[in-house]
Structure 1
Amino acid sequence: MAGRSGATSAGSAASQRLKLPLAPSLERRRLQSYLLLIVCDGLALTIGLLLTAYLYLGTTSEDGTVRQWAIMLPVYWTAALSLQTYSANALISLRTAQKRALLALLAAFTLSLFVAFFAKSSGDFSRITTGFGIVVSAALLMWVRVLLKPLFRMRCGATAENVLVLDDGGMPVRVPHAWHIDTAEHRLSPNRQDPHMLDRLGMFMANMDRVLVSCPPERRMDWALVFKGSNICGEIIEPEVTSLGVLGARRGQGFGALIVSTGPLGLRNRAAKRLMDISIAGAALIFLAPLLIIVAALIKLEDRGPVFFLQQRQGRNNRLFWIYKFRSMRVERLDASGTRSASKDDDRITRIGRFIRGTSIDELPQLLNVLRGDMSIVGPRPHAIGSLAGSKRFWEVDSRYLLRHSLKPGLTGLAQIRGLRGATDSEQDLSDRLQADLEYLDGWTVWRDLRIMVATITVLVHDRAF
């Protein structure tokens, strides 16, 4: 008992040097910042709508103007709260703050039109004053956030939250703008049988928004129980979360599970991407039909061989499918497994084959794969299962290779518009393409697909297209 008392005294001396608690509470300051933003947003909308009406109509006493303002303001505040316009992230990131304010304004404008329509008062609203009022209000909302950002940073700091990292013998972790405490130096431990130790831990964790601890596996349960009894957002650092790429956790009846995969696209985005694929592929096949017929005839006339070359490739969910291409090599020299990549002076390529490969026309039959659902217009390019990077199979070069199969393969992608195509003579050739493919998987949007399609036009003829 005396030894424990001595350790506690030594720990208390170290704690006092730190001047506990470590930081003032930011909760009240964040709340004050949110209230200031709410008031300023209200003034921005009021000035935007009423000032525009006054400049155009010469008065703000018109019933329609006042009624529009009375509807718009509470609807905006409701939308802003729903879209987390007033949040810690909006205090530290100007871009996030402005984006969410604009979304809230757009939502408020749309909802207010519905309210006015059902209240049969939309006819009282002036289109000109409404349109200019929204534009002026948007500009004021943006300006307000630029003006207040230095104040928020001064009041709430760079992250708008207090973070404490406890090093209890686990893997070393550094978190920017956080307090880092070595538990051995300050004689801290998750001893649930020692009220004085729990009190000292409480002093260190006072006013913290998040507390992270890095500790050996055998101490995790003790820290978890301490956190649960401390009214604190506690996190235990687990190295496998990074190595497994954990997205979250789920508890079932009698078991727990780590979520490591959910697929890069939700149902709505998959439907939008599929609709775009069908529309573009169908229109392209109709528009390019004369060219396709001419190329097919030239291939047939050259050596009387088959027009198409079919090869198994790996697609979404690691499933194999048959890809369609115009045949560009001599029939007796075809490589169904894709073990040998085509080279610039490849003696297997026919005369018409050299032209269609150099202009990427040989890839056009894959529009049929898109209509069948095997492929998409934009996505990671599918590789032949026998392809080599240097002397290794593609999946032997990098364990992340299989991640690219979480989406349908595409006719084109980020790697192609960046010039990363042709033979993979070295492992680095594959690594560069894989990095581009993984970048594409991270946050899909329709607009990015459209930009890639437009950029593809500029690389159809390429010095590595052989």
Structure 2
Amino acid sequence: MCAEPAATPEGTEPREKRLGGVAPQPTLAEIASFSAPDPAYSPIVVAGLVRLGELLLLMGVGFGVHHIHVAAQWGISAEYLVVIPAMSFLAVFALQGMRLYHLAALRSPIHHGFKIAGAWSAVFVAALAAIFFFRVDNSFSRVWLAGWYVGGLFALFLERFAVAAAIRALTRKGRLDRRTAIVGGGPSAAPVLSALAAQEEGDLRIVGVFDDRADTRSPDVVAGYPKLGTVDDLVEFARHARLDLIIFTLPITAEDRLLQMLRKLWVLPVDIRLAAYTHKLKFRPRSYSYLGDVPVIDIFDKPIADWDVFVKAAFDKIVGALCLVAAAPAMLAIALAIKIDSPGPVLFKQKRYGFNNEEIEVYKFRSLYADQQDQSASRLVTRDDPRVTRVGRLIRRTSLDELPQLFNVVFKGNLSLVGPRPHAMHARAAERLYDEVVDGYFARHRVKPGITGWAQINGWRGETDTPEKIQARVEHDLDYIENWSLMRDVYILALTPFALLKTERAY
């Protein structure tokens, strides 16, 4: 699929026509509402799942033919238990070597049919050569070899046609698109947009152009794509619509403009690239990555992407469910104590900032008197705060009031076990909102927030009443984001109980 402007809702005219005077240009809120709300599937993950599926499929056919022809007559032979998985792995490597796991190849099984047959045939040629040179031809049934070859090839083509149908369906829904915004209009953007649009098998979908310039250097339409606003508008657009990639088309010599714009955009959970398509300054080939045939320089990468998203989500669900089961008796006892101690609900829901600044509701055990709840957290809880109940004082100091957030992790999926702590939406330090105190504060929302985090086990939990405290917490959060790994999550979880013993800042 080539790069093309995002579709407008059914029954509306193309944006280019409306920009030409037929109708007024839609607002950013309207354009964001046109966007597919569902997240995209990573092509890397899709290709990985197809690899795994084909490995299991080929092994299944091999063992199936063995069971029908060989095992039924002579019993199970150990040689087949080694050769079938080995040849199946070799077949997957051969298909990978012929670039048959790219989305373009998965979409077109007929066009790549000879390559698929060639890869599978090459494996059998290699196997026959090994059988001949090692003189083990009496150990393997010729009928089994022929049956597996024909059956495996037939199964591969059936599976590829099924995968192609699934990918076409996902493509129609926009689930395989990389929704892309262009920063910088005018002459520098036009050739980049034209080159991206000319790629028949690309997965980019250009949503529009953003440029801070409002003069003739940046027209309202560039190469058929509308200019939707400024870089500030792009930040707001990305908060309401799915965006996967930002491409700068500014010349590399415009260093000041680039830095000024990057300072605003690096807080977004997207990949950011600088197009090198028209640059006169040439780097070594290894310095570039490519979007089809268009060379780009990588500036920022989405912190957790592709398989890492899957691994972290699986870790959260599995370990979170185990933690919830283990904590159930304690949670029941705390709920009973809260009910006895003061009238009001057991749980307290509070709006906080989640991934990409989305509003989420997090669960906590109620620790304040019911008639003194502070939904917006406009006033931080301090030492000996009279609003805190007797039970609340204990569960706040030990962070047991956070246990219901396991429901957010396991059932709602809007929290992770480990990540930057979600702050209340109107929390303040020294009478200033957190994002006013810390430059780049919202960059901590490039990943899903967590119940515990790197800042918490390093002593930065509890009250954040000064700019220095929130600055230190954000610095630890950004360090966690930039250096994330599953083992680091395990390490943070393991140290969290020891961190909870330090209660000097928890009120």
Which TM-score band applies after superposition, normalised by the shorter structure? Answer: 0.3 to 0.5
Task: Give the TM-score, by structure 1 length.
Answer: 0.48
Report the structure number with the largest CA radius of gyration. 1
Task: Give the TM-score, by structure 2 length.
Answer: 0.44
